């Protein structure tokens, strides 16, 4: 069916071109600005007490640090507990392996229809495309995901996938793509249309696929939050439920979920609590009426162990995927999610993508930040995003390849020579004195075309006399 | 680094160092002179070590830590007395206060030096409020201003409130709040050069919100942001063939000095 045409991420190389196109797209700019303002205000309204928020973020960070510090043990404990609960556990190092596991399960059940709850890991591995190639219809059932799938696009936000689309665009899309639907831009009506389509699919699907918000090692519980009820349908109606998640999503104790979930919905959508919270602890028991006969969990690495192996970059894995960093990012607000070219956009995308795709292909994302720190300020688990961005810039331009995949590949001889000369000038006070004196004296020669700077600004010219010259004059009051 | 935890402040000293920053030395010396005037009027002798150049931040944030270290290393020896070091830039102050210890983390001797220095780095407005106890009478005429606080002043130094407090102390000055006052101006050092389209989009929005605020001028404690904002505003004026600047602005040191010294109505 034509719905299975979700675009796989493009290589991140054309970032400059895509971001230029985005900032010049007035419609896109308006959509994102409006959405970001709305989400920022909603989040703030959920955290009226700054001190309490600060304490909660300390707690969130501590829980995630604890989980990561014990990651190998917790993953083993999780596997054992899940198996004891009757959940089958699979390990995948690469996206291809993860897709092969899903396909293997699907083939064993002779499945042709899959309904999907929202899962960014499934986007990361290109699952829809892999299913389409194998002749399986993988239908998105989250309304936002359904919309981008209909449009043949990728999500532009990790929480709100269709945030770049207006109501009118969605109306046109439905009229064009959903059989027998006339144009309407009434939101309730659009949702009813989507729901009608999806209801039939839930009933027919052999497999339901979902993501996981937290996997609890102590109890072997998969925790999944959502607002539309589609996640509960996907995980309880079909005979087989397959959950996919990254290995970093494990937490030690059930009570940790309760604490993290104070932060997650408030930081993400500005909700005090999600509409649906699913605690999945196994397949249907013989005396139960509802639930799948089989539950599988696929634990994906896909480069996460590279981040894990580095004491500073490991903080990247603290992320609970709330999206607050992108909601507050001045760059994301201007260019939207698609310009990044990666599954995960925004600040978290810039720091996680190098591990998934290599630093060479994703380096531009790490540079696309003014290091303003708005993301650091709102991160519910206090990921030092700006420090990590600086570290990635260092690794990408280092003289040797280093430990990161694609490290050192962004080093350019001209650029590194410029910084070397800069360090000579500013590292030798006598040389700086001469150079800055020459610049002041020669200010009439300062170019009016200062490259990228003067495309949008007037030239920046040296003052006729430096501060050090003026201070040397006798005080005149 | 957690700006929400207040740092201890020393009593007002008889002597202080000025680290003026390379931008002020070369491009905006008046802000440096006015900083000196403000502090000397309070009875503080200001010492300007001639060997100072740049804090090293441009290379540090651009992915060249070795080059940043070469330059930062030079600044470590400039302040031998235990006097406070006043920096009229939140961004450069944050570099020296928060990033120097990280930059020299692998060298125990230099780390100790960097850490000691970091402990007495003060951004100008926090120094004026918390150390000097700045209270001067506003002798200027009535005017309306907007304050732009740099992201590093706000989020790394946590000193956005001290700039605001200084302006609030000026009785004839009405401070208006521009929309999205907390948002970055799009400068980001080499970010403005590497991603000129994104940077231009951000600064254009900043200029628009400042103009919409009704402010007659913008003041900021960071020259990097000011060059970006004012340079963009001027460029827009040029293309609209406007003679008088639609958005003038200056460093908060200059503004404070003029308002409290009788230099200008």
Contacts of B22 in chain A (CB under 8 A): 426, 436
**Is residue A34 located within the same domain as residue A164?**
yes
Question: pTM of this prediction?
Answer: 0.96
Among A305, A333, A351, the domain boundary falls at A305
Q: Provide the token pair at A225.
A: 């939050």
How large is the greatest C-alpha to C-alpha distance in chain B, in angstroms? Answer: 57
How many alpha carbons fall within 13 Å on the CB side of residue B85?
29
Q: Provide the token pair at B140.
A: 């200027």
Among A258, A286, A305, the domain boundary falls at A305
pLDDT average, residue stretch B240-261: 93
- Answer yes or no: is pLDDT of A416 > 90: yes
- A16, part of any domain: yes
A175-191 burial, b at 16+ Cβ within 10 Å, e below that, comes to eeebeebeeeeeeeebe
| CA-based nearest residue in chain A for residue B78 | A429
- A105, part of any domain: yes
**To probe the interface with B, which of A457, A464, A473 has the most B CB atoms within 10 Å?**
A457
Contacts of A357 by beta carbon, 8 Å cutoff, 6+ apart: A9, A11, A12, A303, A342
Asked if A426 and B20 come within 8 Å (Cβ–Cβ), the reply is no
Domain that holds residue A67: 12-305
Contacts of A390 by beta carbon, 8 Å cutoff, 6+ apart: A371, B60, B61, B63
Judge whether B55 and B21 are in contact, CB under 8 Å.
yes
**Is residue A299 located within the same domain as residue A434?**
no
Distance in angstroms between the alpha carbons of the first and the last residue of chain B: 41
Residue A266 DSSP symbol = H
**Of B191, B199, B192, B128, which Cα lies nearest the Cα of B159?**
B128
| pLDDT-based confidence at residue A475 (cuts at 50, 70, 90) | low
Mean pLDDT rounded to a whole number for chain B:
95
Residue A327 contacts B where some CB pair is shorter than 8 Å:
no
Asked if B191 and A369 come within 8 Å (Cβ–Cβ), the reply is yes
Contacts of A425 in chain B (CB under 8 A): 53
Q: How many domains does chain A have?
A: 2
Which ipTM value was assigned to this complex? 0.96
Residue B139: its pLDDT value, please? 95
Residue B181: its pLDDT value, please? 97
Chain B closest-CA separation from residue A426 CA (Å):
6
Q: Provide the token pair at B245.
A: 């600047």
The span from the CA of B163 to the CA of B256, in Å, is 10
Asked if A471 and B51 come within 8 Å (Cβ–Cβ), the reply is no
Chain B closest-CA separation from residue A100 CA (Å):
39
CB atoms < 10 A from the CB of A477, how many? Answer: 4
**Is residue A78 located within the same domain as residue A213?**
yes
Q: Where are the alpha helices (DSSP H) in chain B?
A: 22-27, 29-41, 57-62, 65-76, 90-94, 100-103, 108-118, 124-126, 151, 160-168, 191-194, 196-212, 223-239, 252-261
The span from the CA of A438 to the CA of A445, in Å, is 10
**Is residue A299 located within the same domain as residue A422?**
no
Residue B5: its pLDDT value, please? 63
The span from the CA of A254 to the CA of A136, in Å, is 35
Distance of CA A275 to the CA centre of its chain: 22
Judge whether B159 and B123 are in contact, CB under 8 Å.
yes
Residue B262: its pLDDT value, please? 81
Q: Tell me how far CA of residue B210 lies from CA of A131, A405, B29, B183, B234, in angstroms.
A: 51, 44, 25, 12, 13
| pLDDT-based confidence at residue A426 (cuts at 50, 70, 90) | very high
pLDDT in tens, A18-66: 999 999 999 999 999 999 999 999 999 999 999 999 999 999 999 999 9
Contacts of B247 by beta carbon, 8 Å cutoff, 6+ apart: B207, B210, B211, B215, B217, B218, B229, B230, B233
Q: Tell me how far CA of residue A173 lies from CA of A153, A202, A341, B242, in angstroms.
A: 12, 22, 23, 45
Distance in angstroms between the alpha carbons of the first and the last residue of chain A: 81
- A436, part of any domain: yes
Give me the CATH number covering residue A72.
3.40.50.10420
**Of B153, B216, B204, B152, which Cα lies nearest the Cα of B180?**
B204
Asked if A432 and B4 come within 8 Å (Cβ–Cβ), the reply is no
The span from the CA of B95 to the CA of B117, in Å, is 12
Residue B263: its pLDDT value, please? 66
Residue A473: its pLDDT value, please? 76
**Is residue A85 located within the same domain as residue A230?**
yes
Asked if B27 and A461 come within 8 Å (Cβ–Cβ), the reply is yes
Facing residue for B184 by CB, picked from A372, A440, A451? A372
pLDDT in tens, B99-122: 999 999 999 999 999 999 999 999
CB atoms < 10 A from the CB of B175, how many? Answer: 16
**To probe the interface with A, which of B64, B203, B209, B223 has the most A CB atoms within 10 Å?**
B64
Chain A closest-CA separation from residue B238 CA (Å):
9
For the ranges A282-286, B4-8, B100-104, the lowest mean pLDDT is seen at: B4-8
What are the φ and ψ backbone dihedral angles of A280, each rounded to 5 degrees? Answer: -100, 115
Residue A456 contacts B where some CB pair is shorter than 8 Å:
yes
The span from the CA of B178 to the CA of B174, in Å, is 13
- Answer yes or no: is pLDDT of A3 > 80: no
Edge-to-edge strands of the sheet including A113-116? A87-92, A294-300, A240-246, A207-210, A113-116, A137-140
Residue B4: its pLDDT value, please? 54
DSSP track, A201-235: HHHH-SEEEE--SEEETTTTEEEEEESSSHHHHHH
pLDDT in tens, A439-468: 999 998 989 999 999 999 999 999 999 999
| CA-based nearest residue in chain A for residue B65 | A394
**Of B153, B125, B121, B93, which Cα lies nearest the Cα of B17?**
B121
Among A305, A338, A366, the domain boundary falls at A305
Contacts of A155 by beta carbon, 8 Å cutoff, 6+ apart: A120, A123, A144, A145, A148, A161, A162, A337, A343
pLDDT average, residue stretch A94-119: 98
Query: Domain B136-261 carries which CATH code?
Result: 3.40.50.11810
Query: Residues, chain A, total?
Result: 477
- Answer yes or no: is pLDDT of A476 > 90: no
- Burial class from Cβ neighbours inside 10 Å (0-12, 13-18, 19+) for residue B129 reads buried
Contacts of B54 in chain A (CB under 8 A): 426, 432
Asked if B195 and A367 come within 8 Å (Cβ–Cβ), the reply is yes
- Answer yes or no: is pLDDT of B211 > 60: yes
- A376, part of any domain: no
Judge whether B64 and A417 are in contact, CB under 8 Å.
no
Q: Provide the token pair at B35.
A: 């900083």
pLDDT average, residue stretch A106-128: 97
Coil, strand or helix at A435: helix
Facing residue for B235 by CB, picked from A37, A51, A456? A456
Facing residue for B187 by CB, picked from A24, A370, A468? A370
- Burial class from Cβ neighbours inside 10 Å (0-12, 13-18, 19+) for residue B161 reads middle
Higher pLDDT, B113 or A402: B113
pLDDT in tens, A193-214: 999 999 999 999 999 999 999 9
Residue B6: its pLDDT value, please? 76
pLDDT in tens, B39-97: 999 999 999 999 999 999 999 999 999 999 999 999 999 999 999 999 999 999 999 99
Residue B264: its pLDDT value, please? 56
pLDDT average, residue stretch A269-289: 96
**Of B56, B122, B98, B8, which Cα lies nearest the Cα of A384?**
B98
pLDDT average, residue stretch A103-127: 97
| pLDDT-based confidence at residue A6 (cuts at 50, 70, 90) | very low
Asked if A29 and B201 come within 8 Å (Cβ–Cβ), the reply is yes
Judge whether B222 and B150 are in contact, CB under 8 Å.
yes
Residue A374 contacts B where some CB pair is shorter than 8 Å:
yes
Facing residue for A468 by CB, picked from B25, B58, B187? B25
For chains A and B, CB pairs below 8 A equal 189
- Please report, for chain B, the start and end positions of each structural domain, with discontinuous segments joined by +: 15-131, 136-261
> Over the Cα atoms of chain B, what is R_g?
18
Residue A12: its pLDDT value, please? 57
- A64, part of any domain: yes
pLDDT in tens, A366-376: 999 999 999 99
Residue B265: its pLDDT value, please? 40
- A347, part of any domain: no
- Answer yes or no: is pLDDT of B197 > 60: yes
């Amino acid at each position: 069916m034509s719905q299975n045409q979700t675009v796989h991420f493009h290589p991140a190389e054309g970032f400059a071109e895509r971001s230029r196109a985005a900032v010049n797209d007035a419609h896109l700019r308006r959509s994102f600005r409006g959405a970001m303002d709305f989400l920022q205000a909603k989040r703030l309204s959920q955290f009226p007490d700054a001190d309490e928020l600060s304490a909660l973020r300390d707690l969130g960070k501590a829980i995630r640090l604890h989980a990561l510090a014990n990651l190998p043990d917790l993953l083993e404990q999780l596997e054992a507990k899940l198996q004891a609960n009757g959940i089958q556990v699979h390990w995948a190092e690469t996206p291809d392996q993860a897709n092969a596991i899903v396909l293997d399960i699907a083939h064993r059940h002779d499945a042709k229809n899959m309904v999907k709850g929202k899962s960014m890991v499934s986007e990361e591995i290109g699952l829809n495309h892999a299913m389409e190639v194998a002749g399986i219809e993988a239908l998105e059932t989250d309304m936002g995901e359904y919309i981008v799938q209909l449009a043949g696009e990728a999500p532009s936000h990790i929480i709100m996938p269709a945030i770049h689309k207006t109501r009118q665009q969605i109306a046109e899309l439905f009229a064009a793509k959903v059989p027998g639907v006339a144009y309407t831009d009434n939101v309730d009506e659009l949702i009813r249309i989507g729901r009608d389509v999806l209801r039939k699919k839930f009933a027919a699907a052999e497999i339901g696929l979902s993501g996981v918000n937290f996997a609890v090692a102590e109890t072997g519980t998969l925790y999944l939050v959502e607002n539309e009820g589609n996640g509960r349908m996907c995980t309880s109606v079909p005979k087989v439920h397959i959950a996919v998640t990254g290995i970093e999503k494990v937490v030690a104790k059930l009570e940790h979920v309760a604490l993290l979930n104070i932060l997650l919905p408030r930081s993400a959508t500005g909700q005090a609590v999600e509409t649906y919270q699913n605690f999945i602890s196994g397949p249907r028991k013989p005396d139960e009426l509802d639930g799948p006969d089989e539950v599988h969990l696929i634990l994906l690495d896909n480069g996460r162990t590279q981040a894990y192996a580095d004491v500073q970059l490991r903080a990247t894995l603290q992320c609970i995927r709330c999206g607050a960093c992108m909601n507050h990012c001045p760059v994301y607000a201007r260019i939207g999610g698609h310009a990044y070219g990666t599954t995960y956009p925004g600040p978290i995308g810039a720091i996680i993508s190098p591990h998934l795709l290599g630093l060479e292909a994703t380096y531009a994302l790490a540079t696309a930040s003014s290091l303003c720190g708005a993301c650091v300020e709102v991160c519910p688990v206090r990921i030092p995003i700006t420090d990590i961005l600086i570290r990635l810039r260092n690794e990408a331009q280092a003289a040797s390849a280093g430990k990161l995949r694609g490290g050192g590949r962004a080093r350019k001889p001209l650029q590194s020579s410029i910084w070397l000369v800069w360090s000579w000038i500013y590292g030798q006070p006598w040389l700086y004195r001469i150079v800055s004196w020459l610049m002041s004296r020669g200010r009439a020669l300062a170019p009016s075309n200062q490259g990228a700077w003067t495309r949008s600004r007037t030239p920046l010219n040296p003052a006729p006399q430096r501060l050090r010259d003026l201070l040397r004059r006798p005080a005149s009051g | 680094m957690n700006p929400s935890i207040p740092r201890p402040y020393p009593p007002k000293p008889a002597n202080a160092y000025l680290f003026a920053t390379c931008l002020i030395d070369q491009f905006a010396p008046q802000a440096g002179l006015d900083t000196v005037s403000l502090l000397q009027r309070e009875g503080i002798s200001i010492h300007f070590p001639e060997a100072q150049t740049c804090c090293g931040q441009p290379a540090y944030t651009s992915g060249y830590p070795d080059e940043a270290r070469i330059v930062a290393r030079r600044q470590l020896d400039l302040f031998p007395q235990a006097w406070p070091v006043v920096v009229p830039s939140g961004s450069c102050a944050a570099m020296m206060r928060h990033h120097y210890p990280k930059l020299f983390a692998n060298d125990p001797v230099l780390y100790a030096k960097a850490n000691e220095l970091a402990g007495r780095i003060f951004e100008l407005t926090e120094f004026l409020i918390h150390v000097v106890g700045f209270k001067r009478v506003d002798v200027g005429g009535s005017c309306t201003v907007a304050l732009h606080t740099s992201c590093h002043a706000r989020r790394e130094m946590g000193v956005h409130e001290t700039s605001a407090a200084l302006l609030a102390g000026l009785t004839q000055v009405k401070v208006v709040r521009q929309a999205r006052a907390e948002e970055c101006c799009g400068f980001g050092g080499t970010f403005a050069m590497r991603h000129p389209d994104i940077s231009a989009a951000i600064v254009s929005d900043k200029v628009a919100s400042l103009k919409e605020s009704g402010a007659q001028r913008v003041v900021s404690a960071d020259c990097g942001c000011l060059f970006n904002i004012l340079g963009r505003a001027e460029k827009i004026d040029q293309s609209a063939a406007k003679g008088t600047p639609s958005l003038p602005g200056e460093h908060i040191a200059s503004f404070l000095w003029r308002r409290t010294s009788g230099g200008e109505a």
